[in-house]
Structure 1
Amino acid sequence: MCTVTIVPLIDPHGGRTGFRIASNRDESRRRPPAHPPQSRAFGLRRAILPIDPTGGGTWIAVNDAGLAMTLLNRNPGDMRGRAFPDRPSRGTIIPDLLGVETLASARARVEAIAPDRYAPFRLVASDGERWFEAVSEAQRVTLRDQPLDRPVMFTSSGLGDAVVEGPRRELFEGWFGDDAGAWPAQQETFHRHRWEDRPALSVCMSRDDARSVSLTVVTVTAGGVSLTYHGAPPDESAEDVTHRLPRAACRERQP
């Protein structure tokens, strides 16, 4: 499970210079660690992504068109703890989208996904101007599309998404002020936050069977894209691994 934030990057004059996505990955203590990020080709595009060794997919990626996307498992109360051994890994969803160039094209591909093909998921993608959230439900994939004008957060938990949504949302709403110049630093500290008396509900979570195992930060600007992978709990020291790609020309146009 995960906590994800997206923040626009704003210069001192109020101009938009890019955006950042940060993702805490929360996993079972028994799950093998992910492989560090690598650059791969997806059609005419290149992308950076860490690899999950169990399913071979990923939970976060960015391509050289400047599209970034991340995936969260959904754990509605009536399905919490349910396994879906007969379905493909949700980690294969993002690789199927990395060859596109525009947010609209990514959205169209997501809309075509059969909702019962995968276990419940929440996909979030952004191009820095807008973001969309795709939520798989029993009979459909529901999409929400919004402009990216201030920080946004998405979260999930194996305890049940509703259990952590309230406390993490309250923390998030009080964490980011109106000073856009402070948002990147506030994003960094938010993803390392842990309540001493409520570690299981924290953004940087810990409980007997699971914990936040990594922090991944994607940065997109006009000059290029990068993905920085911190392969340890966000509040613990570890050597970060960063991969970069220059922005490449796109053939598609946003509608």
Structure 2
Amino acid sequence: MCLLAVQYRLVPESPILVAANREEYVDRPSQTPSIQSGKPRVLCGIDQKAGGTWLGVNQNGLFVGLTNRATATPLFGQRSRGQLAMDLLRCTSSRRALEKAHAEFAKNRYEGCNIILADAKAGFAIHADERQEVVELQEGLNIIGARNLNDPDDGRVQLARRLLTLQTLDSPVKFLAVASKVFARSPVGQGRPSMVIRNGDYATVSSTLIALGVKPRDAIYQFSSGAPDESKYEDYSPMLRDILSRGLREARTKAKVGS
């Protein structure tokens, strides 16, 4: 299932602000966020069963987030959606990642998914089932779950929107403070939408908060390795700042060589 909120280009010093809850089978193993080798460097968690990831950031400031998408019938995917997300994180920009996604969907079959691609220049949502639809991210709050971006009929998406817009989130500190409480909202009753899900062996298994700033030193990455109403967010910001600083240095070096 999963729920992903991106406040896009509303705060000048942090154009990408993210809050995400991941739902999965509770016995499916995963690793906490770490820097992945290769270029560009990527910071993400790893799905130890099928490989790949559900969410991450690369050294160029590209954010990629994945949610499962509800489909009328099974699509019998041939390749893990998490592996696709990792492939997209190896791209240099959101537009390159969008091109890569189109190429992948043309040659491989995947189960239904929604993908968010965003950097400081452009942001996109891909709704992928039997066919693909691309929607540009709006300036402001964008929320996606198992249906379309900002779906008015998705109760969980609308609950998240209502709770995240009770006050003006005009700084990364405010956004992350409010989002950490909203996404840790415990279930309130059967049949009612909630931010944290507990449904037997399928539940909210982790949560992530990210702020991608104009300067690497302002970047924030916090991760809860369980449902956030029971597990604290731990700080992984030094790793994010490290890869973003590396990316900035490499970009400056290329610019000097090119001149």
Distance 1:3 1:239, change over 3 A: closer
Match of 1:48 among 8, 29, 43: 43
Q: TM-score, normalised by structure 1?
A: 0.81
Check whether the contact 1:156–1:164 (CA below 8 A) recurs between aligned residues.
no
Query: Which has the higher relative contact order, 1 or 2, with Cα contacts under 8 A spaced 6 or more apart?
Result: 1
1:180 equivalent to 2:169? Answer yes
Q: 1:8 to 1:188 in 2, by over 3 A?
A: farther
Q: State the AA in 2 paired with 1:38.
A: S
Residue 18 of structure 1 is matched in structure 2 by 15
Q: Which has the higher strand share?
A: 1
Q: Separation in 2 of the partners of 1:55 and 1:232?
A: 20
- Letter paired with 1:180: L
Unaligned runs of 5+ in 1: none
C-alpha contact (below 8 Å) 1:42/1:98 kept by paired residues: no
Residue 33 of structure 2: aligned partner? 37
Structure 2: runs of 5+ lacking an equivalent: none
- Aligned equivalents of 1:200 and 1:54: distance in 2? 31
In the other structure, the counterpart of 1:234 is 228
Query: Is residue 2:95 matched to residue 1:100?
Result: no
Give the distance between the partners of 1:130 and 1:239, measured in 2 at CA. Answer: 28
Taking the aligned partners of 1:9 and 1:132, their CA distance within structure 2 comes to 13
Q: Aligned pair count?
A: 237
Report the secondary structure of 2:140's partner residue.
coil
2:132 aligned partner, one-letter code: V
Higher helix share: 2
Deviations 1:180-217 (Å, cap 9, x if unpaired)?
33433222222111342137732211112311010022
Distance 1:173 1:227, change over 3 A: closer
2:105 maps to what in 1? 114
Q: Percent identity between the aligned chains?
A: 21
**C-alpha separation between the residues in 1 aligned to 2:158 and 2:144?**
12
Root-mean-square deviation (CA, aligned residues, Å) is: 2.8
Aligned equivalent of 1:207, options 196, 199, 210: 199
